[in-house]
Amino acid sequence: MTTRKELVEALRERYRSAAFGDRIKILDEFVALTGYHRKHAIRVLHAEVATATAARARNRLYDEAVRQALTVLWEAADRVCGKRLKALIPMLVDAMERHGHLDLDPVIKTKVLQVSAATIDRVLASARLHIDGQRKRRKGVGSAIRRSIPVRTFADWRDPPPGFFEIDMVEHCGGVKTEGEFVHTLTMTDIASGWTECVAMRVRDQMLVIEAFEKVAADLPFAMLGVDTVNVNCTAQRSFGLG
Protein backbone atom coordinates (compact mmCIF):
# COMPACT_ATOMS: atom_id res chain seq x y z
CA MET A 1 0.00 0.00 0.00
CA THR A 2 2.82 2.39 0.89
CA THR A 3 4.59 1.64 -2.40
CA ARG A 4 1.37 2.33 -4.34
CA LYS A 5 0.90 5.69 -2.57
CA GLU A 6 4.48 6.65 -3.35
CA LEU A 7 3.89 5.69 -6.99
CA VAL A 8 0.74 7.84 -7.14
CA GLU A 9 2.56 10.83 -5.65
CA ALA A 10 5.46 10.38 -8.06
CA LEU A 11 3.30 10.13 -11.20
CA ARG A 12 0.59 12.63 -10.25
CA GLU A 13 2.68 15.77 -10.79
CA ARG A 14 4.15 14.39 -14.03
CA TYR A 15 0.65 13.57 -15.26
CA ARG A 16 -0.78 17.00 -14.43
CA SER A 17 2.06 18.92 -16.09
CA ALA A 18 2.44 16.67 -19.16
CA ALA A 19 1.08 17.30 -22.65
CA PHE A 20 -1.92 15.28 -23.82
CA GLY A 21 0.13 12.64 -25.65
CA ASP A 22 2.50 12.18 -22.73
CA ARG A 23 -0.46 11.88 -20.34
CA ILE A 24 -1.70 8.83 -22.27
CA LYS A 25 1.71 7.16 -21.90
CA ILE A 26 1.87 7.97 -18.17
CA LEU A 27 -1.69 6.66 -17.71
CA ASP A 28 -0.84 3.42 -19.55
CA GLU A 29 2.20 2.96 -17.35
CA PHE A 30 0.18 3.66 -14.21
CA VAL A 31 -2.58 1.19 -15.15
CA ALA A 32 -0.01 -1.51 -15.93
CA LEU A 33 1.76 -1.06 -12.60
CA THR A 34 -1.30 -0.81 -10.34
CA GLY A 35 -3.89 -2.91 -12.13
CA TYR A 36 -6.41 -0.08 -11.71
CA HIS A 37 -9.30 0.35 -14.11
CA ARG A 38 -8.43 3.14 -16.54
CA LYS A 39 -11.22 5.48 -15.38
CA HIS A 40 -10.32 4.93 -11.73
CA ALA A 41 -6.66 5.60 -12.52
CA ILE A 42 -7.63 8.95 -14.09
CA ARG A 43 -9.62 9.89 -10.97
CA VAL A 44 -6.67 8.98 -8.73
CA LEU A 45 -4.23 11.08 -10.76
CA HIS A 46 -6.66 14.01 -10.68
CA ALA A 47 -7.45 13.63 -6.96
CA GLU A 48 -5.13 16.42 -5.83
CA VAL A 49 -6.85 18.91 -8.12
CA ALA A 50 -10.22 17.96 -6.61
CA THR A 51 -8.77 18.27 -3.10
CA ALA A 52 -7.34 21.71 -3.89
CA THR A 53 -10.71 22.81 -5.26
CA ALA A 54 -12.45 21.59 -2.10
CA ALA A 55 -9.87 23.41 0.02
CA ARG A 56 -10.52 26.64 -1.87
CA ALA A 57 -14.25 26.18 -1.33
CA ARG A 58 -13.68 25.64 2.39
CA ASN A 59 -11.47 28.74 2.52
CA ARG A 60 -14.19 30.82 0.86
CA LEU A 61 -16.67 29.50 3.39
CA TYR A 62 -14.32 30.35 6.27
CA ASP A 63 -13.61 33.79 4.79
CA GLU A 64 -17.33 34.58 4.68
CA ALA A 65 -17.76 33.33 8.25
CA VAL A 66 -14.83 35.49 9.38
CA ARG A 67 -16.35 38.50 7.61
CA GLN A 68 -19.67 37.98 9.38
CA ALA A 69 -17.96 37.52 12.76
CA LEU A 70 -15.90 40.68 12.26
CA THR A 71 -19.05 42.59 11.31
CA VAL A 72 -20.76 41.51 14.53
CA LEU A 73 -17.70 42.50 16.59
CA TRP A 74 -17.38 45.80 14.71
CA GLU A 75 -21.00 46.69 15.43
CA ALA A 76 -20.54 45.74 19.10
CA ALA A 77 -17.48 48.02 19.27
CA ASP A 78 -19.47 50.98 17.90
CA ARG A 79 -17.92 50.68 14.40
CA VAL A 80 -14.39 51.69 15.34
CA CYS A 81 -11.49 51.60 12.89
CA GLY A 82 -9.56 48.40 12.16
CA LYS A 83 -6.62 49.22 14.41
CA ARG A 84 -8.83 49.84 17.40
CA LEU A 85 -10.99 46.80 16.68
CA LYS A 86 -7.88 44.60 16.42
CA ALA A 87 -6.95 45.57 19.98
CA LEU A 88 -10.51 44.99 21.24
CA ILE A 89 -11.23 41.64 19.57
CA PRO A 90 -9.79 39.28 22.25
CA MET A 91 -11.85 40.91 25.02
CA LEU A 92 -14.95 41.27 22.85
CA VAL A 93 -14.90 37.64 21.77
CA ASP A 94 -14.44 36.44 25.34
CA ALA A 95 -17.21 38.67 26.74
CA MET A 96 -19.70 37.98 23.94
CA GLU A 97 -19.15 34.21 24.15
CA ARG A 98 -19.62 34.24 27.93
CA HIS A 99 -22.91 36.12 27.60
CA GLY A 100 -24.20 33.99 24.73
CA HIS A 101 -24.02 36.68 22.05
CA LEU A 102 -21.39 34.86 19.98
CA ASP A 103 -20.66 31.21 19.25
CA LEU A 104 -17.66 30.82 16.94
CA ASP A 105 -16.33 27.65 15.34
CA PRO A 106 -12.77 27.06 16.66
CA VAL A 107 -11.29 27.55 13.17
CA ILE A 108 -13.17 30.82 12.68
CA LYS A 109 -12.27 32.02 16.17
CA THR A 110 -8.57 31.42 15.48
CA LYS A 111 -8.77 33.37 12.22
CA VAL A 112 -10.64 36.24 13.89
CA LEU A 113 -8.07 36.48 16.69
CA GLN A 114 -5.17 36.43 14.21
CA VAL A 115 -6.56 38.84 11.62
CA SER A 116 -4.56 42.04 11.06
CA ALA A 117 -5.91 45.58 11.34
CA ALA A 118 -5.39 46.15 7.60
CA THR A 119 -7.37 43.00 6.76
CA ILE A 120 -10.16 44.10 9.12
CA ASP A 121 -10.49 47.41 7.27
CA ARG A 122 -10.46 45.61 3.91
CA VAL A 123 -13.06 43.02 4.96
CA LEU A 124 -15.37 45.65 6.46
CA ALA A 125 -15.00 48.14 3.60
CA SER A 126 -18.31 47.17 1.98
CA ALA A 127 -20.12 47.27 5.32
CA ARG A 128 -18.84 50.79 5.96
CA LEU A 129 -20.13 51.95 2.57
CA HIS A 130 -23.68 50.92 3.39
CA ILE A 131 -23.95 52.60 6.81
CA ASP A 132 -27.00 54.86 6.63
CA GLY A 133 -26.44 55.24 2.88
CA GLN A 134 -23.19 57.10 3.42
CA ARG A 135 -20.49 57.12 0.76
CA LYS A 136 -16.73 57.10 1.08
CA ARG A 137 -15.14 60.30 2.26
CA ARG A 138 -13.98 62.56 -0.51
CA LYS A 139 -10.27 62.22 -1.02
CA GLY A 140 -8.19 65.36 -0.78
CA VAL A 141 -6.44 67.49 1.78
CA GLY A 142 -8.50 66.08 4.65
CA SER A 143 -7.51 62.52 3.77
CA ALA A 144 -3.85 63.47 3.58
CA ILE A 145 -4.05 65.09 7.01
CA ARG A 146 -5.75 62.01 8.51
CA ARG A 147 -3.06 59.75 7.08
CA SER A 148 -0.34 61.91 8.60
CA ILE A 149 -1.77 61.62 12.14
CA PRO A 150 -0.84 58.38 13.93
CA VAL A 151 -3.53 56.19 15.47
CA ARG A 152 -2.78 54.76 18.90
CA THR A 153 -4.94 52.28 20.82
CA PHE A 154 -4.73 51.34 24.50
CA ALA A 155 -2.72 48.30 23.39
CA ASP A 156 0.07 50.59 22.09
CA TRP A 157 0.80 52.53 25.28
CA ARG A 158 3.65 50.28 26.54
CA ASP A 159 3.29 51.05 30.26
CA PRO A 160 3.30 54.90 30.19
CA PRO A 161 3.89 57.06 33.28
CA PRO A 162 0.89 58.81 34.91
CA GLY A 163 -0.21 61.92 33.06
CA PHE A 164 -1.36 60.62 29.67
CA PHE A 165 -5.14 60.77 29.34
CA GLU A 166 -7.62 59.29 26.93
CA ILE A 167 -10.67 61.49 26.58
CA ASP A 168 -14.23 61.18 25.35
CA MET A 169 -17.17 63.54 25.03
CA VAL A 170 -20.57 62.29 26.22
CA GLU A 171 -23.61 64.11 24.82
CA HIS A 172 -26.68 64.08 27.08
CA CYS A 173 -29.36 64.17 24.38
CA GLY A 174 -31.68 61.64 26.01
CA GLY A 175 -31.47 58.99 23.32
CA VAL A 176 -31.53 59.49 19.56
CA LYS A 177 -29.63 62.62 18.63
CA THR A 178 -31.72 65.52 17.32
CA GLU A 179 -30.93 69.05 16.23
CA GLY A 180 -29.81 71.54 18.86
CA GLU A 181 -27.25 71.99 21.62
CA PHE A 182 -27.01 69.66 24.61
CA VAL A 183 -25.12 69.44 27.88
CA HIS A 184 -21.91 67.41 27.55
CA THR A 185 -19.56 65.64 29.92
CA LEU A 186 -15.85 65.61 29.13
CA THR A 187 -14.47 62.34 30.51
CA MET A 188 -10.70 62.03 30.99
CA THR A 189 -9.04 58.76 32.13
CA ASP A 190 -5.35 58.40 32.97
CA ILE A 191 -3.91 55.39 31.13
CA ALA A 192 -1.46 54.36 33.86
CA SER A 193 -3.58 54.72 37.00
CA GLY A 194 -7.19 54.72 35.80
CA TRP A 195 -7.73 58.08 37.52
CA THR A 196 -10.86 59.59 35.93
CA GLU A 197 -12.07 63.19 35.85
CA CYS A 198 -15.49 64.28 34.53
CA VAL A 199 -16.20 67.91 33.67
CA ALA A 200 -19.70 69.17 32.83
CA MET A 201 -20.05 71.51 29.84
CA ARG A 202 -23.25 73.39 28.95
CA VAL A 203 -22.46 73.04 25.20
CA ARG A 204 -19.77 71.44 23.06
CA ASP A 205 -17.34 74.27 22.50
CA GLN A 206 -13.60 74.41 21.82
CA MET A 207 -12.87 77.07 24.43
CA LEU A 208 -14.87 75.21 27.07
CA VAL A 209 -12.85 72.07 26.34
CA ILE A 210 -9.59 73.98 26.83
CA GLU A 211 -10.92 75.44 30.08
CA ALA A 212 -11.87 71.93 31.23
CA PHE A 213 -8.34 70.68 30.46
CA GLU A 214 -6.85 73.50 32.49
CA LYS A 215 -9.22 72.87 35.42
CA VAL A 216 -8.40 69.16 35.50
CA ALA A 217 -4.66 69.84 35.17
CA ALA A 218 -4.80 72.20 38.15
CA ASP A 219 -6.61 69.65 40.35
CA LEU A 220 -4.53 66.56 39.50
CA PRO A 221 -1.99 65.13 41.99
CA PHE A 222 0.40 64.56 39.04
CA ALA A 223 1.30 66.45 35.88
CA MET A 224 -0.85 66.18 32.76
CA LEU A 225 1.50 65.16 29.97
CA GLY A 226 -0.81 64.55 27.03
CA VAL A 227 -4.31 63.81 25.81
CA ASP A 228 -5.49 61.26 23.24
CA THR A 229 -8.97 61.31 21.75
CA VAL A 230 -10.76 57.97 21.80
CA ASN A 231 -13.75 58.52 19.53
CA VAL A 232 -12.09 59.60 16.27
CA ASN A 233 -9.52 57.98 13.99
CA CYS A 234 -6.62 60.14 15.06
CA THR A 235 -4.41 60.86 18.03
CA ALA A 236 -4.22 64.44 19.29
CA GLN A 237 -1.48 65.00 21.85
CA ARG A 238 -0.83 68.20 23.70
CA SER A 239 2.04 68.87 26.08
CA PHE A 240 0.85 71.06 28.92
CA GLY A 241 4.30 71.80 30.32
CA LEU A 242 3.12 71.34 33.90
CA GLY A 243 5.64 70.31 36.49
3-state helix, strand, coil in the chain (%, to 5): 55, 10, 35
**pLDDT confidence tier of residue 174, bands split at 50, 70 and 90:** confident
Listed in sequence order, the residues at least 6 apart from 24 whose beta carbon sits closer than 8 Å to its beta carbon are: none
DSSP 234: S
> What's the confidence (pLDDT) of residue 239?
37
Residue 231 clears pLDDT 70, i.e. is over it: no
Within 10 A of 230 (CB to CB), how many other CB atoms are there?
Answer: 18
CA dihedral (78, 209, 242, 219) positive or negative: negative
CA–CA dist 133, 123 (Å, integer): 18
- pLDDT one-digit tens code per residue, 84-108: 889 889 998 998 888 888 888 888 8
* Average pLDDT value over all residues in the chain: 76
Question: 26 or 98: which carries more pLDDT confidence?
Answer: 98
Residue 52 clears pLDDT 70, i.e. is over it: no
Predicted TM-score of the model (pTM): 0.42
Domain extents in the chain: 2-45, 53-133, 154-229
> What's the confidence (pLDDT) of residue 196?
92
Consecutive H or E run containing 4:
helix 2-17
> What's the confidence (pLDDT) of residue 243?
36
Region 193-214: mean pLDDT is 89
> What's the confidence (pLDDT) of residue 23?
78
Listed in sequence order, the residues at least 6 apart from 4 whose beta carbon sits closer than 8 Å to its beta carbon are: 34
Residues facing residue 169 across a β-bridge = 186
Q: Of 177, 167, 166, 70, give the one whose Cα is nearest residue 126.
A: 70
Residue 44 clears pLDDT 50, i.e. is over it: yes
CATH code assigned to 154-229 = 3.30.420.10
Residue 161 clears pLDDT 50, i.e. is over it: yes
Residue 33 clears pLDDT 50, i.e. is over it: yes
